[in-house]
Structure 1
């Protein structure tokens, strides 16, 4: 199960269920995909095919939606 958190500017932000306990968010775009850690700070964990400019744009969107992402993480992964 991979619930979509939100879509913005052609990017899909989502979680993979039961992947690992450290808070993170996955991002898909037709040009590539990435994974961003949410803890201890927001940073790129993995990138496949996205430009440095795209990663910066994604990080800005994650920061804009940080509370929403963290709240969704706690709901999806209680405990």
Structure 2
């Protein structure tokens, strides 16, 4: 479970086994209040969420948008093997 970055109490990460065939580029987020999965393409959006309120989800979307280049780079580095 490679952690790409942290922001406050949130951890942004990938699962090493992202399905077969692999799902499109996305990142998972875990925090004290819940978990979410965020698509990065074709547009940034919540794929699934459990426990986060709308304000927390908006904050997560902002963090993903701010860190999108780093997330994409980490995804391609991790899954290119």
TM-score range, shorter chain: over 0.9
5+ unaligned residues in a row in structure 2: which ranges?
A: none
TM-score normalised by the chain length of structure 1: 0.94
The CA RMSD measured in Å over matched residues stands at: 1.1
Instruction: Tell me the secondary structure at the aligned position of residue 72 of structure 1.
Output: helix
Unaligned 5+ runs, structure 1: none
- Quote the residue 1:36 is aligned against: 38
The aligned counterpart of 1:55 is: 57
What whole-Å deviation, never above 9, does each CA across 1:13-41 have from its counterpart, x for those lacking one?
A: 00001213210000000110100011111
2:15 is aligned with 1:16: yes
Moved >4 Å (runs of 4+): none
Aligned residue in 1 for 2:5: 6
| Alpha-carbon distance in structure 2 between the residues aligned to 1:58 and 1:47 | 11
TM-superposition CA deviations, 1:20-77 (whole Å, max 9, x none): 3210000000110100011111100000000000000000000110000000000011
Q: How many residues align?
A: 78
